[in-house]
Chains A and B, each alone.
Chain A
Amino acid sequence: MPYILIGIGAILVLWFISTYNFFVSSKARIKAAVQEIGNQLKRQADLIPNLESSVKGYLAHEKGIFEKLTEARKAIASAVDSGNVQKMADAGAKLAAVLPSIKIAVEDNPELKGSDVVARLMDELRDTADKIMYARRLVIDLTADYNVRRVTMPSSIMANLFKIEELPGLITPSEGEHLKVSEEETKTPKVKL
């Protein structure tokens, strides 16, 4: 009988430790994943001057684009230095907003479109955008895991005991246009060439 009790006690202690460790290590991993977003944004900011110089010769007349790019790059650098996730996301969005205009500029120049330099530029742009998206995906997945364990039994007992707080993950407004579908959007788009 005492052996059984000791056995149950040992299992309880192990469960206790592993659940506690899950919460604290998840929190550390989420923090690291947020830094990864910053890391990828910084990579993007560093990459763009190189890409810029590779196509600048072809797009000398599109001065406005390059000014916007430089501006966005500076915003990212300062946001990453500040370490604020929201600022990083804003700066990233600023950069993302410039990228389509590069695409248009390239498409307006038929002699540019076929060149290898531009094909590589497009590949690199897609890749750098993907990298940031996947870095965000990791933050979302890790926080979802953490938040689910926080509220489901039996780990919720530990969460309540140690006052483990809910983490926001990627901050997204829970109401607004992105959750609504307008009349226009319900129609299947027709592409005319």
Chain B
Amino acid sequence: MLNVYEAQAANKRKSALIIGLFILFVTLSVYVISQAMGVYFGYEPGGLGVAGIALIISGLITFVSYYASDKIVLSISGARPADRKRDFNFYTVAENLSIATGIPKPKLYVIEDSAPNAFATGRDPDHAVVCATTGLLQKLSRTELEGVIAHELSHIKNYDTRLMSVVAVLVGMVALLGDIFLRISFRGGRSDRRGSEASAIFLLLGIVFAILSPIIAQLIQLAVSRRREFFADSSSVAITRQPSGLISALEKIAKDHEPLEAANKATAHLYIVNPFKEKGHGAVDWFASLFNTHPPVPQRIAALRKMA
């Protein structure tokens, strides 16, 4: 039995551990692949130069989506701004919980869709957006809504959009680097390479890493995303002190089998519950769960029950 403070601390620790592992892995892959490239080019820093270029390209792509995340997501989802009178519970709950967390009230939007779901985005608390579907607002009671909105505000307060953007830049870099390496190595490279044993090992390792690292990096990225969901759940309870609200909200959202039309693969990770609904059982389920952006709802509910 963990109390809410211990749950928070444990989530922070695990989150830091996964992120540390991720950075370690990215550094290792970049090192190995650039060493292998060095063997191809015949001089040492060649590979690192390519790694730098890959970082810049990946950074530029992600920077746009990071900097303008609030606007992009909203234009994709087709949302309208929330109105205090029309969306009284949503508006006032968000206002109240912002008081409790000590962040400015985020911009609030409503998506006209009967599938209950919600998401938060924005690069920092000053540019944050919380968006809810009309289905969510109709189906949840005020207490349940408080749990959901507190979860979203926790994402904002913990700078999750920023964290996930940085992780995405690094995953993109590893993928690009592996791609570049595989392309040049298939073209044959130079024939006058000195065949020392160390360079042969690096070449072999380089090919293995170039193929596997992008996948592994992505898997760790998803693990980070799932850990942040647990973290936001426990932070939500720390704000509302009512685990029952979030628990019954999650149950209601998970039970609803209507797919969210406004969601797509690019925005799926933002929502409080995966908008595509996970299914499947047994070993396949476990394997599939590695590729999920969200932990399964029953697991989240079990973690919340422990805090109650």
Q: Which residues from chain A sit less than 8 Å from chain B, CB to CB?
A: 29, 33, 36, 40, 123, 126-127, 130-131, 134-135, 137-138, 141-142
Q: Which of B92, B95, B142 has the most CB of A within 10 A?
A: B92
- B102 lies within 8 A of A127 (CB): no
Return the contact of B99 from the options A29, A40, A123, A142 (Cβ within 8 A): A40
Instruction: Indicate whether B27 reaches chain A with its CB closer than 8 angstroms.
Output: no
Closest B residue to A142 by beta carbon equals B102
Return the contact of B100 from the options A29, A123, A134 (Cβ within 8 A): A134
Chain B at the A interface: SS class: helix
A130 to B97, CA, bound (A): 9
Query: Which B residues touch A142, using CB under 8 A?
Result: 102
Q: Give 26 CB contacts A-B under 8 Å.
A: A29-B102, A36-B99, A40-B99, A123-B88, A123-B89, A123-B92, A126-B142, A127-B88, A127-B92, A127-B96, A130-B92, A130-B93, A130-B96, A131-B95, A131-B96, A131-B99, A134-B99, A134-B100, A135-B99, A137-B100, A137-B239, A137-B241, A138-B99, A138-B100, A138-B101, A142-B102
A137 to B256, CA, bound (A): 33
A29 to B102, CA, bound (A): 9
Given A123-B88, A127-B92: A134 touches B97 (CB 8 Å cut-off): yes
Closest A residue to B99 by beta carbon equals A134
Query: Which A residues touch B88, using CB under 8 A?
Result: 123, 127
Closest B residue to A126 by beta carbon equals B142
A168 to B101, CA, bound (A): 19
Within 8 A of A (CB), among B71-113: 88-89, 92-93, 95-97, 99-102
- A33 lies within 8 A of B102 (CB): yes
A134 to B88, CA, bound (A): 17
Number of residues from B at the complex interface, CB < 8 A = 15
Closest B residue to A40 by beta carbon equals B99
Q: Report the minimum CB–CB distance from A95 to chain B (whole Å).
A: 18
Q: Report the minimum CB–CB distance from B248 to chain A (whole Å).
A: 18
Interchain residue pairs A-B with the least CB separation, the first 8: A134-B100, A127-B92, A137-B100, A134-B99, A134-B96, A130-B96, A131-B96, A135-B99
Given contacts A130-B96, A141-B238, 16 further A-B contacts (CB under 8 A): A29-B102, A33-B102, A36-B99, A126-B142, A127-B88, A127-B92, A127-B96, A130-B92, A131-B96, A131-B99, A135-B99, A137-B239, A137-B241, A138-B100, A138-B101, A142-B102
Q: Which of A137, A141, A142 has the most CB of B within 10 A?
A: A137
How does the 8 Å CB contact mask read for B145-166 relative to A, with 1 for contact and 0 for none? 0000000000000000000000
Query: Which A residues touch B241, using CB under 8 A?
Result: 137
Q: Report the minimum CB–CB distance from B38 to chain A (whole Å).
A: 29
A107 to B304, CA, bound (A): 37
Q: Report the minimum CB–CB distance from B185 to chain A (whole Å).
A: 41
Closest A residue to B241 by beta carbon equals A137
Q: Report the minimum CB–CB distance from B102 to chain A (whole Å).
A: 5
Query: Which A residues touch B238, using CB under 8 A?
Result: 141
How does the 8 Å CB contact mask read for B237-277 relative to A, with 1 for contact and 0 for none? 01101000000000000000000000000000000000000
A94 to B282, CA, bound (A): 58
A98 to B102, CA, bound (A): 29
Q: Report the minimum CB–CB distance from B237 to chain A (whole Å).
A: 12
Query: Which B residues touch A33, using CB under 8 A?
Result: 102
Q: Report the minimum CB–CB distance from A134 to chain B (whole Å).
A: 4
Query: Which A residues touch B101, using CB under 8 A?
Result: 138
- B95 lies within 8 A of A138 (CB): no
Closest B residue to A144 by beta carbon equals B5
Q: Which of B88, B96, B238, B241 has the most CB of A within 10 A?
A: B96
